[in-house]
Amino acid sequence: MAKLLPAASVYYVDLMTRPIVGIISNAYLINDQYPAHACGSMNTDAVVQVSGAMPLAFPADPEVVTIPELLDAFDGFLFTGGRPNVHPEEYGEEPTEAHGTFDRNRDRVALPLIRAAVERGQPILGICRGFQEVAVAFGSTLHPEIRELPGRMNHRMPPDGTLEEKFALRHDVILAPGSPYAHVFGTERVRTNTLHGQGIKVAGPRVRIDGWAEDDTPEAISIDGAPGFAMAVQWHPEANAAEDPVSRPLFAAFGEACRAWRASGGQPLRAVG
Ligand SMILES: N[C@@H](CCC(=O)NCCCC(=O)O)C(=O)O
């Protein structure tokens, strides 16, 4: 039965046929002793309120889930942000102190899952760490601390302040004309938040950089030859997704792709843009 979603929603969905979006979790230690898998509720809210899908968080642990099971279980995937970084050995480099902390289980699930989903046209949307995972999955390298690069701003999350202050809009992103993002946003310049220390150093051969911050930091990518929806952004569109004029169309387009995947029994929507 159709249900009226919050006023900010632009369409009704039949809750019985919502596409199912797999949201990758991060590993946490609750009270410094209780291991847990969790994802931020901003992600689930964006998936429900804007994408019109059912969100299901899944553990990022190769001992718990397999790639074929995940591909069969979900209509699309959201690769969320996370404080731990992709391990540099995933892009042929040695770890240094600058690389910070890692989550090797999440690396071992996210990277092969991204490659498999993209190649079959199953929708994926990457956010922040998820953006970096998509980039590395398709051959990119990362710089561990971009604020140390000449001319770059500090993209890191402000250490203090309220959640609203941490997710405040802090830079523009200039989008390539004709890119999937210019198509989705209807403009070639948008304003976004920023909460990351790392960034793409060298893009992989199929990684198309579609958007840059004013300091030339890559902020939006797509994958050449991807038969379906394959988009990833370095910022956090899940924040205030139902109201933000940039987040909303991105999550709406992702939801449309997941709905099409579900309705077609697993065929990709024509690539966006
Ligand atoms: N660790 C990477 C990606 C940054 C990222 O995903 N930030 C969101 C973190 C939210 C939180 O603190 O849990 C980098 O630093 O570039």
Q: Read off the pLDDT of residues 218-263 as tens digits, 9 standing for 90 and up.
A: 999 999 999 999 999 999 999 999 999 999 999 999 999 999 999 9
Q: What is the mean pLDDT of residues 118-127?
A: 98
CB 167 within 8 A of CB 193: yes
Give me the catalytic one of 133, 219, 238, 256.
238
Q: Closest ligand 1 atom, CA of 236?
A: 8
Q: Closest ligand 1 atom, CA of 155?
A: 16
pLDDT at 110 over 70: yes
Pick the residue with more confidence: 270 or 37? 37
Q: pTM to 2 decimals?
A: 0.93
Q: Closest ligand 1 atom, CA of 85?
A: 1
CA-only gyration radius of the chain, Å: 17
User: For ligand 1, which residues put their CB under 6 angstroms from it?
Assistant: 81-83, 85, 128-129, 195-198
Residue type, 117: A
* Paired residues of 189 in beta bridges: 174
pLDDT for position 6: 53
pLDDT at 22 over 90: yes
- Phi, psi at 219, each rounded to 5°: -130, -15
* Confidence band of 268 (pLDDT split at 50, 70, 90): confident
Residue 14 contacts by C-beta under 8 Å, 6 or more apart in sequence? 1, 2
Give me the catalytic one of 196, 236, 256, 258.
236
Residue 50 contacts by C-beta under 8 Å, 6 or more apart in sequence? 9, 241, 242, 247, 248, 251, 252, 255
CA distance 81 to 24: 9
> How far apart are the CA of 146 and the centre of ligand 1, in A?
13
CA distance 273 to 260: 16
CB 52 within 8 A of CB 255: yes
CB 237 within 8 A of CB 194: no
Nearest protein CA to atom 1 of ligand 1, as residue = 83
Global ipTM? 0.92
* Paired residues of 57 in beta bridges: 23
pLDDT for position 60: 98
* Boundaries of every domain in the chain: 11-264
Q: Locate 231 and state its tokens.
A: 């988009």
pLDDT tens digits along 140-193: 999 999 999 999 999 999 999 999 999 999 999 999 999 999 999 999 999 999
Ramachandran quadrant class, 117 (left: phi over 0; alpha: psi -120 to 50; beta: rest):
alpha
Nearest protein CA to atom 3 of ligand 1, as residue = 129
**160: three-class secondary structure by DSSP:** coil
CA distance 249 to 233: 13
Q: Closest ligand 1 atom, CA of 84?
A: 1
> How far apart are the CA of 19 and the centre of ligand 1, in A?
27
CATH class of 11-264: alpha beta
238 is catalytic: yes
Nearest protein CA to atom 12 of ligand 1, as residue = 83
Ramachandran quadrant class, 251 (left: phi over 0; alpha: psi -120 to 50; beta: rest):
alpha
**Mean of pLDDT over the chain:** 94
> How far apart are the CA of 123 and the centre of ligand 1, in A?
22
CB 13 within 8 A of CB 258: no
Share of the chain above pLDDT 90, in %: 90
* Confidence band of 64 (pLDDT split at 50, 70, 90): very high
CA distance 254 to 242: 14
137-167 exposure pattern, b = at least 16 Cβ within 10 A, e = fewer: bbebbbbbbbeeeeebeebebeeeeeeeebb
Nearest protein CA to atom 6 of ligand 1, as residue = 81
Give me the catalytic one of 39, 87, 128, 133.
128
Q: Locate 19 and state its tokens.
A: 């596409």
171 is catalytic: no
Q: What is the mean pLDDT of residues 110-114?
A: 98
258 is catalytic: no
pLDDT for position 269: 77
